[in-house]
Amino acid sequence: MQIGLVGLPGSGNTTLFNALVRANAETGGYAGQNTANRGTIRVPDPRLERLSTLFNPRKTTFATVEYLDIGGITAGSGRQEELQGAGGLADLRSMDVLVHVLRGFPDLTGTPVTPGADFETVELELAIADLEVIERRLTRLSKEARSTKQPDLVREWELLEQCKSEIEGGGSIRNLEFSPEDEKRLRGYRFLSQKQVLLVLNIPEEDLGSEAGRLKELGEFTEGLDTLALCAKVEMEIAQLDEDDAGAFLDDLGIEESALNRMITASYQLLNLISFFTVNDNEVRAWTVTRGVTAPEAAGTVHSDMERGFIRAETLDWQAMLELGGWQAAKEKGTLRVEGKQYVVADGDVINVRFSV
Ligand SMILES: Nc1nc2c(ncn2[C@@H]2O[C@H](COP(=O)(O)OP(=O)(O)O)[C@@H](O)[C@H]2O)c(=O)[nH]1
Ligand SMILES: [Mg+2]
Protein backbone atom coordinates (compact mmCIF):
# COMPACT_ATOMS: atom_id res chain seq x y z
CA MET A 1 0.00 0.00 0.00
CA GLN A 2 1.20 3.48 -0.80
CA ILE A 3 0.10 6.51 1.19
CA GLY A 4 0.80 10.12 0.25
CA LEU A 5 0.92 12.92 2.82
CA VAL A 6 -0.50 16.22 1.60
CA GLY A 7 -0.99 19.53 3.33
CA LEU A 8 0.02 23.17 3.36
CA PRO A 9 3.67 23.75 4.27
CA GLY A 10 4.03 24.00 8.03
CA SER A 11 1.15 21.63 8.79
CA GLY A 12 3.55 18.98 10.03
CA ASN A 13 3.74 16.73 6.97
CA THR A 14 7.41 15.97 7.44
CA THR A 15 7.12 15.70 11.22
CA LEU A 16 4.39 13.08 10.76
CA PHE A 17 6.44 11.36 8.08
CA ASN A 18 9.34 11.10 10.52
CA ALA A 19 7.01 9.68 13.16
CA LEU A 20 5.61 7.08 10.78
CA VAL A 21 8.81 5.79 9.26
CA ARG A 22 11.17 6.61 12.14
CA ALA A 23 13.14 8.91 9.91
CA ASN A 24 14.97 12.12 10.53
CA ALA A 25 14.02 14.23 7.55
CA GLU A 26 14.49 17.98 8.01
CA THR A 27 11.37 19.70 9.35
CA GLY A 28 10.44 23.35 9.43
CA GLY A 29 10.80 23.83 5.69
CA TYR A 30 14.59 24.11 5.81
CA ALA A 31 14.99 21.43 3.19
CA GLY A 32 12.99 23.53 0.72
CA GLN A 33 9.74 22.88 -1.03
CA ASN A 34 10.75 20.34 -3.60
CA THR A 35 12.27 17.65 -1.48
CA ALA A 36 10.18 14.52 -1.37
CA ASN A 37 10.69 12.01 1.40
CA ARG A 38 9.91 8.35 0.90
CA GLY A 39 9.98 5.58 3.45
CA THR A 40 8.63 2.08 3.87
CA ILE A 41 7.45 0.51 7.09
CA ARG A 42 6.33 -2.95 8.10
CA VAL A 43 2.68 -3.17 9.06
CA PRO A 44 2.76 -4.19 12.73
CA ASP A 45 0.80 -7.41 13.13
CA PRO A 46 0.93 -9.39 16.40
CA ARG A 47 -0.89 -12.30 14.67
CA LEU A 48 1.97 -12.69 12.22
CA GLU A 49 4.53 -12.52 15.02
CA ARG A 50 2.81 -15.30 16.92
CA LEU A 51 2.50 -17.49 13.84
CA SER A 52 6.18 -16.90 13.24
CA THR A 53 7.02 -18.03 16.76
CA LEU A 54 5.05 -21.21 16.15
CA PHE A 55 6.53 -22.12 12.76
CA ASN A 56 9.98 -20.71 13.37
CA PRO A 57 10.55 -20.06 9.64
CA ARG A 58 13.73 -18.83 8.03
CA LYS A 59 11.97 -15.64 7.05
CA THR A 60 9.03 -13.61 8.38
CA THR A 61 7.55 -11.15 5.91
CA PHE A 62 5.27 -8.37 7.05
CA ALA A 63 2.94 -6.40 4.81
CA THR A 64 4.41 -3.00 4.02
CA VAL A 65 3.21 0.55 3.62
CA GLU A 66 5.17 3.14 1.72
CA TYR A 67 4.76 6.74 2.79
CA LEU A 68 5.49 9.70 0.53
CA ASP A 69 5.86 13.24 1.84
CA ILE A 70 5.88 15.42 -1.25
CA GLY A 71 6.93 18.58 0.50
CA GLY A 72 3.84 20.73 0.79
CA ILE A 73 1.15 21.99 -1.54
CA THR A 74 0.51 25.67 -2.05
CA ALA A 75 -1.79 27.71 -4.27
CA GLY A 76 -0.52 27.10 -7.79
CA SER A 77 0.86 23.61 -7.19
CA GLY A 78 -1.92 22.05 -9.27
CA ARG A 79 -1.12 24.00 -12.45
CA GLN A 80 2.54 23.15 -12.19
CA GLU A 81 2.03 19.46 -11.70
CA GLU A 82 3.87 18.32 -14.80
CA LEU A 83 6.60 20.94 -14.47
CA GLN A 84 7.73 19.86 -11.06
CA GLY A 85 10.07 16.97 -10.71
CA ALA A 86 10.57 15.31 -7.36
CA GLY A 87 8.18 16.84 -4.88
CA GLY A 88 5.55 17.50 -7.51
CA LEU A 89 1.95 16.39 -7.37
CA ALA A 90 2.52 13.85 -10.14
CA ASP A 91 4.21 11.57 -7.62
CA LEU A 92 0.90 11.32 -5.79
CA ARG A 93 -0.83 9.64 -8.72
CA SER A 94 0.40 6.18 -7.77
CA MET A 95 -0.80 6.49 -4.16
CA ASP A 96 -3.70 4.43 -2.82
CA VAL A 97 -4.66 6.91 -0.12
CA LEU A 98 -3.99 10.61 0.48
CA VAL A 99 -3.59 11.72 4.05
CA HIS A 100 -4.48 15.38 4.50
CA VAL A 101 -2.37 16.79 7.30
CA LEU A 102 -4.23 19.76 8.76
CA ARG A 103 -2.53 22.21 11.08
CA GLY A 104 -4.40 22.30 14.37
CA PHE A 105 -1.62 23.87 16.44
CA PRO A 106 -0.68 27.57 16.75
CA ASP A 107 2.40 28.23 14.60
CA LEU A 108 5.25 30.58 15.49
CA THR A 109 3.98 33.45 13.36
CA GLY A 110 0.53 33.43 14.93
CA THR A 111 -1.30 32.53 11.72
CA PRO A 112 -4.83 31.53 12.74
CA VAL A 113 -5.68 27.83 12.81
CA THR A 114 -8.01 27.25 9.85
CA PRO A 115 -8.10 23.53 9.03
CA GLY A 116 -11.27 23.82 6.95
CA ALA A 117 -9.83 26.50 4.69
CA ASP A 118 -6.48 24.69 4.49
CA PHE A 119 -8.24 21.51 3.41
CA GLU A 120 -10.14 23.43 0.71
CA THR A 121 -6.91 24.94 -0.62
CA VAL A 122 -5.21 21.59 -0.95
CA GLU A 123 -8.30 19.89 -2.39
CA LEU A 124 -8.56 22.65 -4.96
CA GLU A 125 -4.96 22.17 -6.08
CA LEU A 126 -5.47 18.42 -6.40
CA ALA A 127 -8.59 19.02 -8.47
CA ILE A 128 -6.81 21.59 -10.65
CA ALA A 129 -4.06 19.08 -11.35
CA ASP A 130 -6.79 16.68 -12.52
CA LEU A 131 -8.43 19.40 -14.58
CA GLU A 132 -5.16 19.99 -16.43
CA VAL A 133 -5.00 16.32 -17.34
CA ILE A 134 -8.66 16.26 -18.37
CA GLU A 135 -8.42 19.34 -20.57
CA ARG A 136 -5.35 18.06 -22.36
CA ARG A 137 -7.02 14.73 -23.04
CA LEU A 138 -10.36 16.26 -24.03
CA THR A 139 -8.86 18.35 -26.81
CA ARG A 140 -7.91 15.22 -28.72
CA LEU A 141 -10.62 12.93 -27.46
CA SER A 142 -13.53 15.13 -28.51
CA LYS A 143 -12.21 15.22 -32.09
CA GLU A 144 -11.55 11.48 -32.18
CA ALA A 145 -14.88 10.61 -30.60
CA ARG A 146 -16.76 12.86 -33.04
CA SER A 147 -15.05 11.53 -36.13
CA THR A 148 -14.94 7.80 -35.29
CA LYS A 149 -18.14 7.63 -33.18
CA GLN A 150 -16.53 4.69 -31.43
CA PRO A 151 -18.73 3.99 -28.36
CA ASP A 152 -15.79 3.57 -25.97
CA LEU A 153 -14.31 6.90 -26.95
CA VAL A 154 -17.67 8.63 -26.78
CA ARG A 155 -18.26 7.25 -23.30
CA GLU A 156 -14.81 8.31 -22.13
CA TRP A 157 -15.46 11.77 -23.51
CA GLU A 158 -18.76 11.98 -21.61
CA LEU A 159 -17.12 10.83 -18.42
CA LEU A 160 -14.30 13.34 -18.66
CA GLU A 161 -16.82 16.12 -19.33
CA GLN A 162 -18.66 15.02 -16.20
CA CYS A 163 -15.45 15.12 -14.15
CA LYS A 164 -14.59 18.49 -15.61
CA SER A 165 -17.88 20.09 -14.67
CA GLU A 166 -17.70 18.61 -11.18
CA ILE A 167 -14.29 20.22 -10.66
CA GLU A 168 -15.33 23.50 -12.26
CA GLY A 169 -18.26 23.57 -9.86
CA GLY A 170 -15.81 23.38 -6.97
CA GLY A 171 -16.07 19.65 -6.34
CA SER A 172 -13.84 16.61 -6.42
CA ILE A 173 -14.11 13.57 -8.64
CA ARG A 174 -14.50 11.57 -5.43
CA ASN A 175 -18.05 12.95 -5.19
CA LEU A 176 -19.13 11.27 -8.42
CA GLU A 177 -20.41 7.73 -8.58
CA PHE A 178 -19.48 5.53 -11.51
CA SER A 179 -20.50 2.09 -12.67
CA PRO A 180 -17.72 -0.50 -12.45
CA GLU A 181 -17.21 -0.25 -16.24
CA ASP A 182 -16.92 3.53 -16.13
CA GLU A 183 -14.65 3.28 -13.11
CA LYS A 184 -12.39 1.08 -15.22
CA ARG A 185 -12.42 3.60 -18.07
CA LEU A 186 -11.14 6.30 -15.71
CA ARG A 187 -8.73 4.18 -13.68
CA GLY A 188 -5.73 4.88 -15.89
CA TYR A 189 -5.96 8.61 -15.18
CA ARG A 190 -5.30 8.02 -11.46
CA PHE A 191 -7.09 11.25 -10.59
CA LEU A 192 -5.87 12.86 -7.39
CA SER A 193 -9.27 14.21 -6.40
CA GLN A 194 -10.75 10.74 -6.74
CA LYS A 195 -8.46 9.13 -4.20
CA GLN A 196 -9.65 8.01 -0.81
CA VAL A 197 -8.68 10.52 1.84
CA LEU A 198 -7.96 10.41 5.52
CA LEU A 199 -7.94 13.68 7.47
CA VAL A 200 -5.30 13.96 10.15
CA LEU A 201 -5.67 16.94 12.47
CA ASN A 202 -2.27 17.80 13.89
CA ILE A 203 -3.03 19.09 17.39
CA PRO A 204 -0.73 20.63 20.01
CA GLU A 205 0.50 18.50 22.88
CA GLU A 206 -1.81 20.33 25.33
CA ASP A 207 -4.81 19.00 23.45
CA LEU A 208 -3.91 15.35 23.83
CA GLY A 209 -6.88 13.78 25.55
CA SER A 210 -9.30 16.12 23.77
CA GLU A 211 -8.96 14.52 20.34
CA ALA A 212 -12.67 13.82 19.89
CA GLY A 213 -13.60 17.39 20.79
CA ARG A 214 -11.04 18.89 18.44
CA LEU A 215 -12.28 16.69 15.60
CA LYS A 216 -15.87 17.67 16.28
CA GLU A 217 -14.95 21.37 16.07
CA LEU A 218 -13.79 20.87 12.51
CA GLY A 219 -17.39 21.03 11.39
CA GLU A 220 -19.20 20.17 8.21
CA PHE A 221 -16.38 19.72 5.74
CA THR A 222 -15.38 16.46 7.38
CA GLU A 223 -18.76 14.86 6.75
CA GLY A 224 -18.36 11.46 5.16
CA LEU A 225 -14.58 11.54 5.56
CA ASP A 226 -12.44 9.50 7.94
CA THR A 227 -10.65 11.62 10.52
CA LEU A 228 -8.16 11.23 13.29
CA ALA A 229 -6.32 13.63 15.56
CA LEU A 230 -2.74 13.28 16.75
CA CYS A 231 0.22 15.39 17.80
CA ALA A 232 2.87 14.80 15.14
CA LYS A 233 5.61 16.39 17.22
CA VAL A 234 5.02 14.07 20.17
CA GLU A 235 4.62 11.08 17.87
CA MET A 236 7.98 11.90 16.29
CA GLU A 237 9.58 11.93 19.72
CA ILE A 238 7.95 8.60 20.55
CA ALA A 239 9.20 7.11 17.30
CA GLN A 240 12.79 7.85 18.33
CA LEU A 241 12.45 5.79 21.53
CA ASP A 242 12.88 2.06 21.86
CA GLU A 243 9.73 -0.01 22.27
CA ASP A 244 9.60 -0.21 26.08
CA ASP A 245 10.25 3.50 26.60
CA ALA A 246 7.73 4.33 23.88
CA GLY A 247 5.04 2.27 25.65
CA ALA A 248 5.67 4.07 28.94
CA PHE A 249 5.68 7.46 27.22
CA LEU A 250 2.36 6.73 25.48
CA ASP A 251 0.84 5.74 28.85
CA ASP A 252 2.10 8.94 30.48
CA LEU A 253 0.47 11.04 27.81
CA GLY A 254 -2.74 9.05 27.83
CA ILE A 255 -2.30 8.01 24.20
CA GLU A 256 -3.81 4.57 23.69
CA GLU A 257 -2.18 3.69 20.42
CA SER A 258 0.70 5.23 18.48
CA ALA A 259 -0.04 7.28 15.38
CA LEU A 260 1.64 4.65 13.30
CA ASN A 261 -0.84 1.98 14.36
CA ARG A 262 -3.83 4.26 14.15
CA MET A 263 -2.93 5.49 10.68
CA ILE A 264 -2.48 1.97 9.39
CA THR A 265 -5.75 0.75 10.91
CA ALA A 266 -7.56 3.76 9.44
CA SER A 267 -5.98 3.21 6.01
CA TYR A 268 -6.90 -0.47 5.98
CA GLN A 269 -10.48 0.41 6.90
CA LEU A 270 -10.66 3.15 4.31
CA LEU A 271 -9.52 0.83 1.55
CA ASN A 272 -11.47 -2.12 2.91
CA LEU A 273 -8.35 -4.23 3.25
CA ILE A 274 -7.82 -7.44 5.19
CA SER A 275 -4.85 -9.73 5.79
CA PHE A 276 -4.36 -13.42 5.29
CA PHE A 277 -1.30 -15.50 6.11
CA THR A 278 0.77 -18.19 4.47
CA VAL A 279 2.93 -20.33 6.73
CA ASN A 280 5.65 -22.90 6.20
CA ASP A 281 9.16 -23.70 7.43
CA ASN A 282 10.68 -21.34 4.94
CA GLU A 283 8.47 -18.28 5.31
CA VAL A 284 5.59 -16.95 7.37
CA ARG A 285 4.04 -14.08 5.55
CA ALA A 286 1.17 -11.56 5.69
CA TRP A 287 -0.68 -10.64 2.51
CA THR A 288 -3.02 -7.73 1.97
CA VAL A 289 -6.20 -8.09 -0.09
CA THR A 290 -9.50 -6.28 -0.50
CA ARG A 291 -12.33 -7.60 1.64
CA GLY A 292 -14.54 -9.85 -0.46
CA VAL A 293 -11.88 -11.51 -2.63
CA THR A 294 -12.27 -15.20 -3.31
CA ALA A 295 -9.66 -17.82 -2.47
CA PRO A 296 -8.31 -18.00 -6.08
CA GLU A 297 -8.01 -14.20 -6.22
CA ALA A 298 -6.16 -14.18 -2.92
CA ALA A 299 -3.92 -16.98 -4.20
CA GLY A 300 -3.20 -14.78 -7.22
CA THR A 301 -1.55 -12.16 -4.99
CA VAL A 302 0.93 -14.84 -3.91
CA HIS A 303 1.57 -16.14 -7.42
CA SER A 304 -0.39 -15.96 -10.67
CA ASP A 305 0.14 -19.73 -11.18
CA MET A 306 -1.70 -20.36 -7.93
CA GLU A 307 -4.74 -18.51 -9.23
CA ARG A 308 -4.59 -20.11 -12.67
CA GLY A 309 -4.15 -23.63 -11.35
CA PHE A 310 -6.22 -23.22 -8.17
CA ILE A 311 -7.71 -26.49 -6.92
CA ARG A 312 -8.59 -25.82 -3.30
CA ALA A 313 -7.51 -23.86 -0.25
CA GLU A 314 -6.85 -25.47 3.11
CA THR A 315 -7.87 -22.85 5.60
CA LEU A 316 -7.76 -22.21 9.29
CA ASP A 317 -8.25 -19.11 11.38
CA TRP A 318 -4.92 -17.78 12.76
CA GLN A 319 -6.06 -18.25 16.35
CA ALA A 320 -7.12 -21.84 15.75
CA MET A 321 -3.75 -22.47 14.14
CA LEU A 322 -2.00 -21.20 17.27
CA GLU A 323 -4.20 -23.25 19.56
CA LEU A 324 -3.76 -26.44 17.57
CA GLY A 325 -0.09 -25.93 16.89
CA GLY A 326 0.13 -26.76 13.21
CA TRP A 327 -1.42 -28.17 10.03
CA GLN A 328 -1.16 -31.81 11.09
CA ALA A 329 -3.06 -31.32 14.36
CA ALA A 330 -5.72 -29.31 12.55
CA LYS A 331 -6.18 -32.12 10.04
CA GLU A 332 -6.39 -34.75 12.77
CA LYS A 333 -8.88 -32.75 14.83
CA GLY A 334 -10.96 -32.16 11.72
CA THR A 335 -10.79 -28.38 12.14
CA LEU A 336 -9.02 -27.76 8.89
CA ARG A 337 -11.44 -26.45 6.28
CA VAL A 338 -11.11 -27.33 2.64
CA GLU A 339 -12.49 -24.46 0.61
CA GLY A 340 -13.26 -24.20 -3.09
CA LYS A 341 -13.18 -21.46 -5.71
CA GLN A 342 -16.16 -19.58 -4.29
CA TYR A 343 -14.70 -19.20 -0.81
CA VAL A 344 -14.48 -15.59 0.35
CA VAL A 345 -11.30 -15.05 2.34
CA ALA A 346 -11.73 -13.81 5.92
CA ASP A 347 -9.40 -11.49 7.82
CA GLY A 348 -6.86 -13.60 9.71
CA ASP A 349 -7.19 -16.75 7.61
CA VAL A 350 -4.13 -18.96 7.34
CA ILE A 351 -4.26 -20.41 3.84
CA ASN A 352 -2.49 -23.22 2.08
CA VAL A 353 -3.28 -23.23 -1.64
CA ARG A 354 -3.36 -26.51 -3.56
CA PHE A 355 -2.80 -25.84 -7.23
CA SER A 356 -1.61 -27.47 -10.39
CA VAL A 357 -0.41 -25.83 -13.60
N1 LIG B 1 3.52 22.73 18.27
C2 LIG B 1 3.61 21.84 17.29
N3 LIG B 1 4.47 22.09 16.30
C4 LIG B 1 4.53 21.19 15.29
C5 LIG B 1 3.75 20.00 15.25
N6 LIG B 1 4.02 19.34 14.12
C7 LIG B 1 4.95 20.07 13.48
N8 LIG B 1 5.27 21.19 14.19
C9 LIG B 1 6.24 22.22 13.84
O10 LIG B 1 5.81 22.88 12.67
C11 LIG B 1 6.91 23.18 11.83
C12 LIG B 1 6.67 22.61 10.45
O13 LIG B 1 6.67 21.21 10.53
P14 LIG B 1 7.00 20.31 9.26
O15 LIG B 1 6.77 18.90 9.66
O16 LIG B 1 8.30 20.65 8.66
O17 LIG B 1 5.82 20.77 8.31
P18 LIG B 1 5.64 20.53 6.73
O19 LIG B 1 6.04 21.78 6.09
O20 LIG B 1 4.17 20.28 6.62
O21 LIG B 1 6.46 19.35 6.34
C22 LIG B 1 8.14 22.59 12.49
O23 LIG B 1 8.81 23.62 13.16
C24 LIG B 1 7.57 21.59 13.47
O25 LIG B 1 8.37 21.42 14.60
C26 LIG B 1 2.85 19.77 16.35
O27 LIG B 1 2.15 18.77 16.42
N28 LIG B 1 2.83 20.72 17.33
MG1 LIG C 1 7.92 19.22 4.89
Does residue 39 have its Cβ closer than 6 Å to ligand 1? Answer: no
The CATH 3.40.50.300 domain(s) of the chain lie at 2-108+195-270
Does residue 13 have its Cβ closer than 6 Å to ligand 1? Answer: yes
Q: How far is CA 305 from CA 145, 280, 294, in A?
A: 39, 19, 15
Alpha carbons 250 and 66: distance in angstroms, whole number:
24
Does residue 325 have its Cβ closer than 6 Å to ligand 1? Answer: no
Residue 82 scores a pLDDT above 80: no
Does residue 100 have its Cβ closer than 6 Å to ligand 1? Answer: no
Does residue 18 have its Cβ closer than 6 Å to ligand 1? Answer: no
**Ligand 1, pocket-test mutation among 13, 18, 27, most atoms within 8 A of CB:** 27
The CATH 3.10.20.30 domain(s) of the chain lie at 292-355
Topology annotation, domain 122-193: DNA polymerase; domain 1 (1.10.150)
Q: What is the pLDDT of residues 104-113, one digit of tens each?
A: 999 888 889 9
Dihedral over alpha carbons 222, 217, 95, 71 (to 10 degrees): 140
Domain boundaries 2-108+195-270, corresponding CATH code: 3.40.50.300
Residue 344 banded pLDDT, cuts 50, 70, 90: very high
Residue 30 banded pLDDT, cuts 50, 70, 90: low
- DSSP string covering 67-125, please? EEE-----TTTTTTTTT--TTSGGGGGG-SEEEEEEE-S--TT-----HHHHHHHHHHH
Q: What is the pLDDT of residues 214-226, one digit of tens each?
A: 999 999 999 999 9
What atom in ligand 1 is closest to the CA of residue 236? 6
Provide the mean pLDDT of the chain: 92
pLDDT value at position 222?
95
Residue 20 CA to ligand 1 center (angstroms) comes to: 14
Q: What is the pLDDT of residues 107-151, one digit of tens each?
A: 888 889 999 999 999 999 999 999 999 999 999 999 999 999 999
What ranges make up the beta strands (E) of the chain? 2-6, 37-42, 59-61, 64-69, 97-103, 196-202, 226-230, 273-279, 283-290, 310-317, 337-339, 349-355
Q: What is the pLDDT of residues 233-250, one digit of tens each?
A: 999 999 999 888 988 988
Residue 32 scores a pLDDT above 70: no
- DSSP string covering 315-349, please? EEEHHHHHHHTSHHHHHHHT--EEE-TTPBPPTTE
Percentage above 70 pLDDT, the chain: 96
What atom in ligand 1 is closest to the CA of residue 204? 28
Please tell me the least confidently modeled range out of 90-104, 248-262, 300-314: 248-262
The CATH 1.10.150.300 domain(s) of the chain lie at 122-193
Residue 169 banded pLDDT, cuts 50, 70, 90: very high
Q: What is the pLDDT of residues 248-272, one digit of tens each?
A: 988 888 888 888 889 999 999 999 9
Which string of b and e fits 274-295 if b means at least 16 CB within 10 Å? bbbbbbeeeebbbbbbeeebbb
Q: What is the pLDDT of residues 190-212, one digit of tens each?
A: 999 999 999 999 999 999 999 99
For domain 292-355, say whether CATH 3.40.50.11890 is its number.
no
